[in-house]
Amino acid sequence: MDKKEALKKIALIQIKVGDFFLGNADYELKADKEVVLAAVKKNANDLQYADKELKADKEVVLAAVKYSGNALQFANKKLKADKEVVLEAVKQEGAALAYADKKLIGDKEVVLEAVKQNARTVFNQYDKKLRGRGFRVVLSKKLRANKKIALAAVKQEGRALKHADKKLRANKKIVLTAVKQDGLVLEYADKKLKADKEVVLAAVKQTAYAL
């Protein structure tokens, strides 16, 4: 066994026991697919230290984002535009949508999965002025007016109702879902629904402070 193979064998053992950091490894190991694949399955952020060719390797990147969606930020630009990769990333961490290609940030299926995982970070970011202050994704008006996306958002985060399209704040199913999650969001509902007995009772049942 030559020195290169010996170092690889040691690295794989260290990865297995959790005593390996790709950032400190020799270049040969950073460019070795077997080593990098094993490393990102243990620590997805190790993808940032991999050889650029492996950052463009779909198998490696998929393994990383399945462990931590935010590892998408270290992927090759082409893979940030790969729907399969981005879907896996946002299913694991909705906020990873921020690292996707612009076209996928506007993709209904991708956004829906991101909102299901993290409505607070994804759906509640609505104002472009908030960019640079931890708010990295601004959904289009079209997506914010999508019933499925809004419903998924309020199921997880009732306060998402505040940022839903005006027409959706008049949708009884969406508002009911929101107030059952957080009764205080009754204030963001359409006037007619604020006077709806079923909606008001659901809000008060969730919290007596809804009125």
Write out pLDDT tens, residues 51-108. Answer: 999 999 999 999 999 999 999 999 999 999 999 999 999 999 998 998 999 999 999 9
Residues 6+ apart with CB under 8 A from 91: 69, 113, 117
Each residue of 117-146: pLDDT tens digit? 998 877 765 444 444 444 456 688 888 899
Each residue of 11-65: pLDDT tens digit? 889 999 988 999 999 999 999 999 999 999 999 999 999 999 999 999 999 999 9
* Per-residue confidence (pLDDT) for residue 76, from 0 to 100: 97
* Per-residue confidence (pLDDT) for residue 124, from 0 to 100: 64
- Strand, helix or coil for residue 64: helix
DSSP 75: S
Alpha carbon distance 10, 187 (integer Å): 61
* Per-residue confidence (pLDDT) for residue 10, from 0 to 100: 87
- Closest Cα partner for 65 from 80, 49, 51, 50? 80
- Strand, helix or coil for residue 51: coil
Alpha carbon distance 161, 188 (integer Å): 7
Alpha carbon distance 191, 186 (integer Å): 10
Q: Could you give the C-alpha distances from 149 to 38, 86, 93, 115, in angstroms and in order?
A: 35, 17, 16, 7
Dihedrals phi, psi of 96, to nearest 5 degrees: -65, -15
Span 148-159, average pLDDT:
94
* Per-residue confidence (pLDDT) for residue 57, from 0 to 100: 98
- Name residue, tokens 């908030």: 130
Burial (CB < 10 A; 0-12, 13-18, 19+), residue 128, is exposed
pTM: 0.87
Distinct helix (H) and strand (E) counts, the chain: 15, 0
> Does the pLDDT value for residue 9 go beyond 60?
yes
The lowest-confidence range among 57-61, 122-126, 156-160, 180-184 is 122-126
